[in-house]
Amino acid sequence: MSSDLNIGQAANSESTYKHIEYLGNGGIMEFNTTGPQKRVIEFEHNPETGCDHAWYFAELYLDTMPIDYFDHMEDHAVFDYQDVLKWCCSVLEQSPSAAAMLKEAAQKDWKVSMDDLNGGDYCLDTENKQLIIDNNGLGADALVRSAYFKNATLVMLAKALRDIWQEKRHGGFDEIYSPDNIMMMERVRAADLDVLAILVAWELRSEQYTDIWRHMIGSELGDMAMAFSGYLERDPTAQFNGQGLVAAFKQWFRDEARVNACDHDALEYMDEVLAISEMLNPFGKRRPSRMDVEILSCLPDKTAYLRRQGGEILCDPIYSAVDDEINQTHLFHIMHDLEAVVVEDVPFRDPDLARKIFPVESE
């Protein structure tokens, strides 16, 4: 059964429509959005540690190499970032979930490069369809000789492919939801990226690439990986009904540092939107519905692991409460700026009063 669902009207744009197809027994097929993309934030290239060249995923997707290629390299071998990315794509193709996302990125003409992002995992340029992966300040030779950084790059690429997948279907949240709801939806989306990285690592583990799972257990996502594998040990069917992924998703919200960092990034992003907008309030006014939340969990195999979880996520404060005082203050200032008219560095809530005190001279 198919149906069109109007999810509401975005600010300063036509209504956004999403086509959703239900599969019965819980599946929700992929859908496309005509809504706004995330706004692009400028990225400065580092000429000392970065790469000036980008490769189409279609090139990397077709030119595969053995998964153990770097395990047998000679000491004097020289590699470049294309070799790193080609190897990553070859490994990720062994995961059904990652392979589907990789194939779509290739079909949609996305490009990828590596650069020093000073601690950031990756950067998406949605307008030019370019992905920049962090090289941690390492050259290609040093990166491939480190098991840790090779696997870290794999995880970053898996998350980035999921973000590209989500971007095609959802775009940005800023023209749809109010600022507090933007923060909650960004949390759900960020948690989903980590959940998908864990799923990809588990699938690669099943394909005999066990290094990635050991890396995941020892990483900052280790608690989520343990929640996922622990649930599967108690109930092996949880791998197929999505409950293992739900356990990992809920674990994401139990780490305050993870939640606070996501909130900080969302608030910084909203500041960027305010800075480039000519409108007093460039954000939407909608609150997300249960379906809006659940749709973010649609997998490449057409199922949604958060099915029937949307109501709980919207109601439980663990998913939406802002407990960090700095983030609370930042959100308060954004909300205040949306209500105030600033003239000559003086904020006014009443635009008529602002004009009376600072009259605009007629030309």
Domain chopping of the chain, boundaries: 40-172, 175-363
Q: Would the pLDDT of 280 be above 50? A: yes
pTM: predicted TM-score of the whole model, two decimal places = 0.81
> Model confidence at 241, in pLDDT bands (50, 70, 90)?
confident
Mean pLDDT, range 32-49, rounded to an integer: 46
Provide the pLDDT for residue 358: 63
Mean pLDDT, range 94-98, rounded to an integer: 96
Percent of the chain clearing pLDDT 90 (strictly above): 61
d(CA 203, CA 98): 9
User: Cα angle at 89 between 88 and 92, to 5 degrees?
Assistant: 85
Task: Dump pLDDT digits (tens) for 324-353.
Answer: 999 999 999 998 878 765 555 555 555 555
Provide the pLDDT for residue 253: 98
Provide the pLDDT for residue 15: 32
User: Where is pLDDT greater, at 355 or 332?
Assistant: 332
Provide the pLDDT for residue 74: 73
Distance of alpha carbon 15 from its chain centroid, rounded?
24
Q: Which residues of 302-315 are buried (b: 16+ CB within 10 A; e: fewer)?
A: ebbbbbebbeebbe
d(CA 16, CA 25): 27
Q: Of 163, 220, 160, nearest to 186 (Cα)?
A: 163
- The helix (run of H) or strand (run of E) holding residue 202 is helix 179-206
